[in-house]
Structure 1
């Protein structure tokens, strides 16, 4: 199979893509900050890992409640308007979270932060699929998907240190400041792509009717997000509490793993463009995930911290590589009239799973330890492998 000729992409589209990466990374820092406060909550405030994990999952709960609504708003009103309003609301909710007192109030404020930050998820993905041609879309979406590991890396480096220096409010301020910067950048450069006109050549009907392909991709993504969030949420705890590493060294490892994951997302995006398939690479990524998770668990059981760190880095890289593939496939299959809602459904399932990962894996670690918990998470990609749609079912996802 011969890859299509590569189209030249105007510089202004790469600038828009950069704005989307910054916006999504900033909102990722907002949503991820509580996960990197788990050691602070556990050691300084005496919370159990399950309770701290519940707070870590609060922003993801907010995301779950708001993603489809933001996606529908994007389909109706356009990407620029949704992004600017959403980023402004995110900055306001972060400010509120910095001022509240008590765990219940903090949890509610973090839910609100997550709900507001969901504005960028569907809007940025829809913006990129609207502007970039199919033969560059995997690369562009892969770059866009680096925002999540980059945001996680920024949070891993900054949040623990800021918490020690000034407590929870200062740690949360990092995400709020980045959101304000991204708001200014997006206001300056983001423009909506041309909206499609309803016609026989542009299908705008419900893509879920008559086909289970989208639903299966959603389910696969839910399963694959389990190890991703388990590793990012409890990686710092594993190396500080489990192996006795210095928090700075452990944070650097988590950050390095996230940067490696960002590079991996770009690589698999280019791979999917050249293969003219999003879903064949997705299946192989799921298979690789099983192996690297079991490897990390084995080194943990053997109490070998350096090999475990290498395996953790590999497992983190593989665990985030699927996101751009599935995200691009969903947008392409759904079409321009449904992309916002379909991407909202896609992310809703992922963040619903992510919201459950914190307390569930935290409780599991309390029962069996971190290595065994990592081994259990390998079941998720193992189940996902046969659920990835086959070639005859892919339709528009193949482009």
Structure 2
């Protein structure tokens, strides 16, 4: 069950994040500037963002198996249509629809973990499930530029469609909906947003922490090739290494949170570490130090470590009849920010420089840290959800 959740999320990650690794081909094939390319990168993110809460409501009603199969099948069709697009406008439209369809996997995978694993194992299980996102990015960084070099952007999109089709069949054949406890006498009493601001604060923290994560994900290849002068193959290898390390990092912080019995304490420390890593990256890049490449890898690992912690916390506190919608709200905030990051940060890089942009982005995790709820607030929210 966990493996299927990982596969579904991995395919979604490639759909949503893969276009960032086709920026050089987009600029060459259609003569786009960096901001225009950033808009195309943002289209699947925007599509996902606008449907997350709706998918969450569908999941709360009909469960994971049917929702995942329909969503991934629709994404496959949209990707095939995108591969046959003859203009950037059509490409952007079909990428938007593919992202909208694949948004189901975000909440569905979280519900599978919380439904099938006990509390003392959820941090580890969610860390494994959440590693699908950086693994998807790593696979995209290795696969898509190479395919696009030989078969243009259309070939790269066809490869993504094949992966989505395989995930569709796997989920339809293998996913089982977890059992749910009986509903309370007053369904309104199950609303986790009443009487506590815990979930709202987690949503805000997670949305802010997307800024450094997507800055690194979107522009690392361009930075390595243009600023550090690495060849494309070596730059892709560095990114893949960073993403694999990030996947392992998510598992490590998940285990850590299980042993602490808290998701918020590790979340606060990860936020502070992300700020420090970005500031060091900015400094070493400004000094033209070769250590900046190593710090890019470190920053990449740290900036993805918060996702599993926050996701597990939201799923646990919201309960089985609200987790779909709560996780949808969680992801909507993240994707809203992630859709804005590529064009906004692309413009900032063009206006200033990479070092200055890294330093400015470091302010985001500094701002998020005091918003993380305390351990006492977490315990009260857990008791109310029991």
Same fold? TM cut 0.5? yes
Give CA-to-partner distance per residue, 1:169-200, whole Å, 9 cap, x none. 11112221111112222222210011221136
Matched, 1:365 2:349: yes
The answer to whether the aligner puts 1:85 opposite 2:78 as a matched pair is no
Structure 1 segments, 4+ long, off by >3 Å, are: 200-204, 396-399
Q: Which residue of 1 aligns with 2:362?
A: 378
Q: Which residue of 2 aligns with 1:392?
A: 376
Show the counterpart of 1:343: 327
- 8 Å CA contact 1:204, 1:338 repeated in 2: no
1:323 Cα deviation (Å)? 0.1
Q: Does 1:228 align with 2:229?
A: no
Residue by residue over 1:252-283, the C-alpha shift from the partner in whole angstroms, topping out at 9 and shown as x without a partner, is 11111110100000000000000000001000
Deviations 1:30-62 (CA, angstroms, capped at 9, x unpaired): 111211111222345331111111110110000
SS at match of 2:305: helix
| C-alpha distance in structure 2 between counterparts of 1:154 and 1:204, whole Å | 43
Unmatched runs of 5 consecutive residues or more in structure 2: none
8 Å Cα contact 2:268-2:372 kept in structure 1: yes
| Equivalent residues of 1:204, 1:335 under 8 A apart | no
Give the drift of 1:204.
5.8
Aligned to 2:338: 354
- Pick one of 188, 213, 227 that aligns with 1:242: 227
**Residue 101 of structure 2: aligned partner:** 116
C-alpha contact 2:66 2:172 (8 A) present in aligned 1 = no
- Correspondence for 2:276: 291
How large is the RMSD of aligned CA atoms in angstroms?
1.5
Q: CA deviation at 1:392?
A: 2.1
Residues 219-265 of structure 1: CA deviation (Å, up to 9, x unaligned): 00001111101000000000111121101110111111110100000
Q: Which residue of the other structure, out of 120, 125, 130, is the alignment partner of 1:145? A: 130
Conservation of the 8 A alpha-carbon contact between 1:329 and 1:397: no
SS at match of 1:32: helix
User: What is the TM-score normalised by the length of structure 2?
Assistant: 0.96
CA distance, structure 2, for counterparts of residue 313 and residue 330 of structure 1: 28
Given the two structures, how large is their TM-score scaled by the length of structure 1? 0.93
The C-alpha deviation readout for 1:340-370, integer Å capped at 9, x for no partner, is 0000000000011000000000000001111
Q: What's the counterpart of residue 44 of structure 2?
A: 59
- Which residue among 167, 170, 173 is the counterpart of 1:188? 173
Secondary structure of the corresponding residue to residue 191 of structure 1: coil
Q: Aligned to 2:153, which of 168, 172, 175?
A: 168
Number of corresponding residues: 383
CA distance in 1, matches of 2:271, 2:5: 27
Distance change >3 Å, CA 139–CA 392, structure 1 → 2: same
